[in-house]
Amino acid sequence: DTAVSQTPKYLVTQMGNDKSIKCEQNLGHDTMYWYKQDSKKFLKIMFSYNNKELIINETVPNRFSPKSPDKAHLNLHINSLELGDSAVYFCASSPQGTVYGYTFGSGTRLTVV
Amino acid sequence: QKEVEQNSGPLSVPEGAIASLNCTYSDRGSQSFFWYRQYSGKSPELIMSIYSNGDKEDGRFTAQLNKASQYVSLLIRDSQPSDSATYLCAVSRDSNYQLIWGAGTKLIIKP
């Protein structure tokens, strides 16, 4: 049973398109995150939700919009995709707060052509 | 100054030796410290957490924390080729919902 699952695993799309990435966790965690990992492997937080409430909204283009319909799901919608959006996007979850660390999903490799 | 610093490597260690990975952090209020392992093309995986000064051992892994000097390290004993990966250090305050990440150290274990 996958604890944090993301779909799709790979996404290749043209510039200007709109796409969504879905994330679901079955760990009963209260907090979920979206991270972007660039080619240099640095993990950059984008958003975080705690019990469906947005608690972290880092400086990302407003073309990126998260949605959390319930505490087990956190989706990421990206409008008007650009070449620079190409990266691996990771979803993660944790019990409330950061005391116990995060569990990551397997990642979505987004390639914009 | 970066908030969490790691030597990017690569750090090359012969098989069977001890690999030593280091991480320094700038926020003296940090309370929780983590080491993640990330294989190429895979997601980060939590391997160690430490919360108080001293050593914490789990199998071949030992995490060491020194809050006065603001560093945390990871020792891997009897290194195996399967330990070759990028090791990420992450730090947080308890009241925060965000981990602060280092850029990672690439470790190569040579047979």
- Condensed to tens digits (0 to 9), the pLDDT of residues B6-44 reads 998 899 999 999 999 999 999 998 999 999 999 999 999
- Nearest residue on chain A to B34, judged by CA atoms? A101
How far A18 CA sits from the closest chain B CA (Å)? 25
- Whether the per-residue pLDDT at B95 is higher than 70: the answer is no
Average pLDDT of chain A, as a whole number: 92
Confidence of residue A58 (pLDDT cuts 50, 70, 90): confident
Q: What is the mean pLDDT of residues A53-75?
A: 90
Average pLDDT of chain B, as a whole number: 93
DSSP symbol at B40: T
β-strands A87-94, A103-104 pairing: antiparallel
CB-CB under 8 Å, B103 with A41: yes
Count interface pairs A-B at CB distance under 8 A. Answer: 58
Q: Which helix (H) or strand (E) holds A48?
A: strand A43-50
Percent of chain A with pLDDT over 70: 97
Q: What is the mean pLDDT of residues A16-44?
A: 93
How far B9 CA sits from the closest chain A CA (Å)? 13
Name the 3-class secondary structure at B81. helix
- Whether the per-residue pLDDT at B46 is higher than 80: the answer is yes
- φ/ψ of B82, rounded to 5, equals -70, -10
- φ/ψ of B50, rounded to 5, equals -150, 145
